[in-house]
Amino acid sequence: MEIILKQDVENLGFVDDIVSVKNGYGRNFLIPTGKAILATISAKKALDEKLKQSANKDKVAIEEANKFQKQLEKLELSISAKVIDSNKLFGSVTSSDISKQLSEEGYKLEKNKIILSSNIKSTGKYSAKIRLHREVSFELSFEVISKEK
């Protein structure tokens, strides 16, 4: 089932994205909660017209996202976590932990824009996909280190 998102939906897409979802997820959750509408031919045409009109605003947003991306790429991010054994974590590092560490460094980024490929349960070097805009995404490298006692 194809739908048009009316709000940002974590792990799915941003506003005005056309995405394919399973029928039950679309009919039972996204459409009734107002997060999406069915992607009919007329809705797609209306979306195209809306996107043409907002292309100028979008260009500015893309430029800002690119500037923010360059700032984040220069950052050497280290996340400290409690360790049980030599490198096994007590718990795991999540996107909210990364978001919190970025805010401590002076960069504001919501956790729903950070996508981890898997749970992080040991120390080491990792990367997360950061999606700043529909057209701007990149890999952020970071290191998980043990928290000193």
Which of 52-56, 101-105, 145-149 has the highest average model confidence (pLDDT)?
101-105
Class of domain 59-146: alpha beta
Residue 106 has pLDDT above 80, yes or no: yes
* Per-residue pLDDT at 61 exceeds 70: yes
At the fourth CATH level, the homologous superfamily of domain 2-53 is Ribosomal protein L9, N-terminal domain (3.40.5.10)
Dihedral, CA atoms, 15, 17, 21, 23, nearest 10 degrees? 80
Task: Name the residue ranges covered by the structural domains of the chain.
Answer: 2-53, 59-146
Q: What is the mean pLDDT of residues 124-143?
A: 89
Predicted pLDDT at 125: 92
Using the structure block, give the residue that is written with the tokens 């709000």: 7
Lowest mean pLDDT among 53-62, 73-82, 88-97: 53-62
pLDDT recorded at residue 51: 85
* pLDDT above 90 (res 20): yes
pTM of this prediction?
0.69
Distance CA 127, CA 143 (A): 8
Cα separation, 31 vs 50, whole angstroms: 20
* Confidence category of residue 57, pLDDT binned at 50, 70, 90: confident
